[in-house]
Amino acid sequence: MMDDNRELAPCPFCGCVKIVLNYNAYVYSAVCSRCGASGPSYAFHGDKALNAWNHRTQDASSGDARK
């Protein structure tokens, strides 16, 4: 079940905060409104798509994917 109170993190590529959780044909995916970057898609699992988008790893050289 989706927790509608959770927020999507800003886009790691362009920094845009307008991220939407798309639902299309039983598949959820987070998508950036500015650059179109999208996270992994999950059938029937909006929570998994949200968690995947919000999960960040650090770039070994800079610590920021936008650099």
Q: Walk along the chain (67 residues) and give the pLDDT tens digit of each residue.
A: 444 457 899 999 999 999 999 998 889 999 999 999 998 888 888 899 899 899 887 654 554 555 5
Kindly list the domain boundaries of the chain, sorted by start residue.
19-54
Which residues on adjacent β-strands are paired with residue 22?
Answer: 29
| Per-residue pLDDT at 67 | 52
Whole-model pTM: value is 0.69
